[in-house]
C-alpha cells in the first residue's frame, strides 16, 4: 500500500563519510551508510522509516565528494517513494555546520533530522504527532539503553558515556547532557531550575539521533547563532521528548560492536518482520536465498541470512550469522556469530567466530578467527590462529 505523503515535512539524513569508529570495515572507501546490514545498505533502513511516515523529500548530507558520489550512485537504483538527493558537505562538518549549509532548502513547516546509521521500528508518525501537538521547537527520540549505566560502572565510580536526561512531569525535555567521561559533578543550569519546579533525571535513556524540528525555529537559530556548536544550545527551551515504546527495536550501527549486533538483531524474532519486511523460513527460522548451493550435510541455523549465489561446502556450519552474496564457504568450515560481506572466501576447515569480514576477504584452510575485523581484500593465511585482531592491508 502506498504511503500518504506529508507536504508539511522534509527530512535530512546525516550520512557522514567513512566513519572512523567502523574502521576497517570502510577502509576500502565504502561510506558508512552503504555498509551492508542484513545484506542491504544501512541507509535503506532510515529511508524506509521516512517513507512509512509519509515524508516525500529527503536530503542525504555526505561529507566529501567520494561519499556523495557513492551514495548518489546507489540512489540511482533506489525504487522507493521518496525523492532523495545526495548533497555534498565539507568533510569534518558538525551536524550544525552541515545543516547551516542547506537551511535555505528547508521549506516545509517541519523537518526530520536523523543519523544515517539508525535502525528502528519506532513509528516516526507518532513522534511527528507528539511534536505537533506539543508545539515544540524540537522533539528528539529517546530510547532505553541496551545496558544500564550501573551495569557498566565499577562500584564507587561515576558512570561514563551516559546521557543525563531531565524530564518534566509531562515528558518535556528540560535538560540534556552527554558525558563521555565520568561526571563527578552534574551542574544543572539555574534557568532550568527556575523554570521547572519538578525534574526527573534519568540515565537509562539515550539520544537516538532522530529529531523533529520546527523549521522556522531551526532556521532562526542557525542564522542568529554563528557560534552554535550543538543544536541543544539554541532550542532546548522548547523541547518535547518522545520516548520509544517499551520493547520497540531501536539501535544505531555506529561502532564495530553495534554494527555486529544490529546485523544479528534484525534477523531475530519480531524485529525481522517489521525491519526487513520479509518473513524467515517458517521451519528453520532463517533467510536462505533460493540460489544458495548447499553441500552434503551443510547446516544453517536459526537467525541466519545467506545471500544470493553462496556456496556452502560439505559439512559446513553457519550459526547466527549473515553471509553476503557470492561467498564461498569450504567443507567443514564453521561460521558463528559473524558477518561476511560480499565475495568472501572461507576455505576448508576454517573457523570464523564473532568476526566481520569485508568484501573479497579470504580465510585460508584450517585458519581460526575469533573477534576479528578483516578489511576488504585482506587474506588470512592457512592455519593462522588470530584473536581480537584488526586485519587491514597496508597502503
176 and 71 Cβ atoms separated by less than 8 Å = no
* Contact call for residues 60 and 85 (beta carbons, < 8 A): yes
Q: Report the alpha-carbon distance of residue 337 to residue 317 in Å, rounded.
A: 11
* Low-confidence residues in the chain, pLDDT < 50: 1, 149-151
Q: Which listed CATH number (3.30.950.10, 2.160.10.10, 3.90.470.10, 1.10.274.10) goes with 286-391?
A: 2.160.10.10
Q: What is the pLDDT of residue 1?
A: 47
* Residue 371 DSSP one-character state: S
CATH of domain 9-145+204-265: 3.90.550.10
CA atoms within 13 A on the CB side of 201: 13
Domain boundaries along the sequence of the chain: 9-145+204-265, 286-391
- Predicted local distance difference test score (pLDDT) of residue 150: 47
Q: What is the pLDDT of residue 18?
A: 62
Q: What is the pLDDT of residues 286-307, one digit of tens each?
A: 999 999 999 999 999 999 999 9
Phi-psi sector, 128: left (phi>0), alpha (psi -120 to 50), beta: alpha
pLDDT at 196: 84
Nine cell digits for residue 76 = 540511482
- C-alpha to C-alpha distances, 278 to 35, 121, 266, 287, 306, nearest whole angstrom: 20, 14, 11, 9, 14
Amino acid at each position: 500500500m502506498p504511503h500518504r505523503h506529508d507536504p508539511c515535512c522534509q527530512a535530512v539524513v546525516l550520512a557522514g563519510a567513512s566513519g572512523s569508529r567502523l574502521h576497517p570495515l570502510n577502509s576500502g572507501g565504502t561510506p558508512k551508510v552503504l555498509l551492508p546490514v542484513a545484506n542491504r545498505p544501512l541507509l535503506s533502513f532510515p529511508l524506509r522509516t521516512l517513507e512509512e511516515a509519509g515524508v516525500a523529500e529527503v536530503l542525504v548530507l555526505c561529507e566529501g565528494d567520494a561519499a556523495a558520489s557513492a551514495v548518489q550512485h546507489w540512489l540511482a537504483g533506489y525504487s522507493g517513494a521518496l525523492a532523495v538527493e545526495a548533497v555534498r558537505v565539507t568533510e569534518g562538518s558538525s551536524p550544525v555546520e552541515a545543516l547551516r549549509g542547506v537551511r535555505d532548502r528547508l521549506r516545509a513547516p517541519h523537518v526530520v533530522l536523523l543519523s544515517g546509521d539508525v535502525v528502528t521500528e519506532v513509528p516516526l508518525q507518532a513522534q511527528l504527532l507528539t511534536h505537533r501537538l506539543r508545539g515544540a521547537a524540537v522533539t528528539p527520540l529517546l530510547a532505553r539503553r541496551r545496558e544500564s549505566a550501573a551495569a557498566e560502572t565499577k562500584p564507587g565510580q561515576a558512570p561514563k558515556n551516559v546521557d543525563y536526561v531531565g524530564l518534566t512531569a509531562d515528558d518535556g525535555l528540560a535538560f540534556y547532557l552527554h558525558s563521555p567521561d565520568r561526571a563527578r559533578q552534574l551542574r544543572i543550569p539555574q534557568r532550568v531550575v527556575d523554570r521547572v519546579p519538578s525534574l526527573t533525571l534519568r540515565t537509562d535513556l539515550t539520544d537516538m539521533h532522530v529529531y523533529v524540528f520546527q523549521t522556522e525555529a531551526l532556521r532562526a537559530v542557525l542564522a542568529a547563532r554563528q557560534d552554535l556548536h550543538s543544536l541543544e544550545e539554541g532550542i532546548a527551551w522548547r523541547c518535547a521528548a518522545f520516548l520509544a515504546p517499551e520493547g520497540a527495536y531501536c539501535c544505531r550501527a555506529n561502532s564495530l560492536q553495534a554494527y555486529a549486533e544490529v546485523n544479528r538483531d534484525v534477523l531475530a524474532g519480531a524485529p525481522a518482520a517489521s525491519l526487513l519486511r520479509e518473513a524467515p523460513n517458517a521451519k528453520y527460522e532463517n533467510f536462505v536465498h533460493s540460489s544458495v548451493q548447499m553441500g552434503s550435510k551443510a547446516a544453517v541455523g536459526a537467525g541466519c541470512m545467506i545471500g544470493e549465489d553462496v556456496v556452502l561446502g560439505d559439512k559446513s556450519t553457519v550459526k547466527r550469522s549473515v553471509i553476503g552474496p557470492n561467498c564461498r564457504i569450504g567443507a567443514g568450515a564453521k561460521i558463528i556469530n559473524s558477518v561476511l560481506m560480499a565475495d568472501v572466501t572461507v576455505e576448508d576447515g576454517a573457523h570464523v567466530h564473532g568476526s566481520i569480514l569485508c568484501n573479497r576477504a579470504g580465510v585460508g584452510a584450517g585458519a581460526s578467527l575469533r573477534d576479528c575485523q578483516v578489511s576488504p581484500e585482506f587474506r588470512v593465511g592457512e592455519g593462522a590462529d588470530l584473536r581480537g585482531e584488526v586485519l587491514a592491508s597496508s597502503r
